[in-house]
Amino acid sequence: MDKAGMFSALADLILPVECGGCGVAGTRWCRRCRSRMSDAPVELSPRVDVGVATWALGRYRAPYATSVLAMKEHRRRDLAEPLGAALAGALRTLAAWSELPDVDRLHLIPAPTRALSARRRGGDTVTAFAAAAATELGAGVRVTPLLHTVGSVRDSMGLDARHRASNMSGAIVCRSLPAGLRRPDAGTDGFVLIDDVLTTGATAAESVRVLGAQGLRVHSVVVIAGA
């Protein structure tokens, strides 16, 4: 065994390698999960009306929910690449279905994350996999982080749909639009709100509303795992 091989074997002993989607040992992302993640996107019907079509790569179960959790809670930053590749595939499919404008002119807008949560996770995971998707899709696709949360948004866990919506009201604000989005031809660009999980739809609905108030018409919401 050479030095690199020995180091990798030692690292495996310390940090056992397992698939971020299904937990199978010996690989960080197995072929089965890769293939499941390239299934056609599913349309969601959230309890809170989001106002635009809402899609998920899959329902809230493995490998969709598990890979999101692994990235968020177990710092599996390496999953940004496979999740980004899967997201890119879903965006291509949605464009082919005419659910999105030209996939060469997309702005991926990450849903807002609380700064504290992001720091605890070692960075904003949604922006990380959106960036990987943009790289996969090519030069015309940009990640445009415009949204952030203000004030004290309570953790929405345990709140019902109505309370989640009121918890969100006024909690999300949009940064001033970059010059590129104020060009006259920005009107032909596509804007997609990206998030990891969609449960009630309250965060997505408020994000779409806030962007709309700035004159940005969001075409669709696309998430990894939908409840």
CB of 38 to Zn ion, least distance (A): 13
Query: Does 19 help bind Zn ion (rule: CB under 5 A)?
Result: yes
CB of 80 to Zn ion, least distance (A): 16
DSSP-H helix ranges across 39-124: 64-73, 80-96, 115-120
For CA atoms 137, 139, 144, 145, the dihedral sign is positive
* Local structure of 79: helix, strand or coil: helix
The residue among 196 and 206 lying less far from Zn ion, judged by its C-beta, is: 196
Q: Spell out a b/e string for 164-196, using b for 16 or more CB atoms within 10 Å of the CB, else e.
A: bbebbeebbebeeeeeebeeeebeebbbbbbbb
CA–CA separation, 13 vs 10, rounded Å? 5
The residue among 41 and 82 lying less far from Zn ion, judged by its C-beta, is: 82
CB of 199 to Zn ion, least distance (A): 23
Closest alpha carbon to 106 in 79, 80, 144? 144
CB 7 within 8 A of CB 159: no
Residues 90-149 that bind Zn ion (CB under 5 A): none
Query: Does 68 help bind Zn ion (rule: CB under 5 A)?
Result: no
CB of 174 to Zn ion, least distance (A): 37
CB of 18 to Zn ion, least distance (A): 8
Query: CB under 5 A: which stretch of 17-25, 75-83, 135-143, 216-224 binds Zn ion?
Result: 17-25
The residue among 30 and 193 lying less far from Zn ion, judged by its C-beta, is: 30
Return the biggest CA–CA distance within the chain.
61
Q: What is the per-residue binding string for Zn ion in 21-60, x denoting contact by CB under 5 A?
A: xx-------x--x---------------------------
- Contacting residues toward Zn ion, per CB under 5 A: 19, 21-22, 30, 33
